[in-house]
Amino acid sequence: MFLDRIVASVDARVEALRDEWARLEEKAQNMPPTRSLADALRADPGTLQVIAECKQRSPSKGWLTDHYDPVAQAQGYQRAGAAAISVLTEPEFFAGDLAHLRAVREAVSIPVLRKDFIRHPVQIAEARAAGADAVLLIIRILEPDQYRALYDYATRLGLDVLVEIHSPVEAEVALTAHPAIIGVNNRDLDSFETRLSFSQEMALALGPDIIKVSESGIHQVEDLRQVRDWGYQAVLVGEALMRGRPLLEEWRANG
Ligand SMILES: O=C(O)c1ccccc1NCC(=O)[C@H](O)[C@H](O)COP(=O)(O)O
């Protein structure tokens, strides 16, 4: 499966980073306070917020732009009303880099999420030391105990966590850590198929108290209206924005 290839590549990088853990943890513990992703997503109840993503390529869609300037991209997102920025840092399949996150965090005043495939606490310490305000934990690539340990570790370092699910069973595991924010990925990470109605099905399983984020395959204002009507507080949008679609502006004007 494709996701296994990503995970194998991540694990190899983690292996090389393990010796840095103590140093990164100390740096992480001395960073200034984070900006709360949860607060940003519930700042204006009833308004669907947008987490706008910076990524140059993706496995399913290939290169999204020839000219990738994550700082200019993120500043544009903030000006257009994004509540938070997601920055891909995975290098092999998404052409990401932790340096992109560092630069974006300095250039905007809203929370910044490290979008990567986190498997080990050293990546969380690394994220916090680089300035991230939040990290993504993908239930599908973690054992339940591993997930809870990573969730606790991120929280102890002052990070918010976006917990990503793609099935009712994964939702059950996700809920065991009592997360504030859950992302429902409309994309199957093996087949790459996206289905927005998956967000509708999962909304009921998650209940009203959790901040719900619908992720992937969101391209038009009508998609945003739908997920808002299904009880979501936020969406995470990458491809449409990276291809230059003025979705944030359209949403502000017609939401
Ligand atoms: O996007 C992919 O092709 C992909 C493949 C395998 C694992 C993860 C993948 N994407 C990560 C994401 O979930 C998206 O970057 C994010 O939700 C935004 O989606 P989109 O708006 O469809 O770019």
| pLDDT tens digits for range 54-65 | 999 999 999 999
First to last CA, the chain: 38
Q: Which of 4, 92, 115, 187 to mutate to test the pocket of ligand 1 (most atoms within 8 A of CB)?
A: 187
pTM over 0.95: yes
Q: What spacing in Å lies between the alpha carbon of 58 and ligand 1's midpoint?
A: 7
pLDDT digits (tens, 9 = 90+) for 95-137: 999 999 999 999 999 999 999 999 999 999 999 999 999 999 9
Q: What spacing in Å lies between the alpha carbon of 186 and ligand 1's midpoint?
A: 9
Domains defined along the chain, listed by start: 2-254 (3.20.20.70)
**pLDDT-based confidence at residue 254 (cuts at 50, 70, 90):** confident
Pairing mode, if any, of strands 134-138 and 234-237? unpaired
Whether the CB of 214 sits within 6 Å of ligand 1: no
Pair 230, 252: CB distance under 8 Å: no
**Residue of 181, 168, 231, 171 lying closest to 210 (CA atoms):** 181
Residue nearest to atom 16 of ligand 1 (CA): 216
- The mean per-residue pLDDT over the stretch 151-171 comes to 97
Pair 133, 36: CB distance under 8 Å: yes
pLDDT digits (tens, 9 = 90+) for 177-199: 999 999 999 999 888 899 999 99
pLDDT computed for residue 212 by the predictor: 98
Whether the CB of 192 sits within 6 Å of ligand 1: yes
pLDDT computed for residue 191 by the predictor: 86
Q: What spacing in Å lies between the alpha carbon of 100 and ligand 1's midpoint?
A: 17
Whether the CB of 185 sits within 6 Å of ligand 1: yes
Torsion angle of the four alpha carbons 243, 139, 161, 155, in this order, in degrees rounded to the nearest 10: -150
Pairing mode, if any, of strands 49-54 and 57-58? unpaired
Q: Which atom of ligand 1 lies nearest, measured to the CA of 240?
A: 21
Q: Give catalytic residues, as residue numbers.
A: 53, 55, 115, 164, 185, 215-216
CA angle 87, 91, 96 (to 5 degrees): 25
Q: Which two tokens stand for residue 85?
A: 């920025």
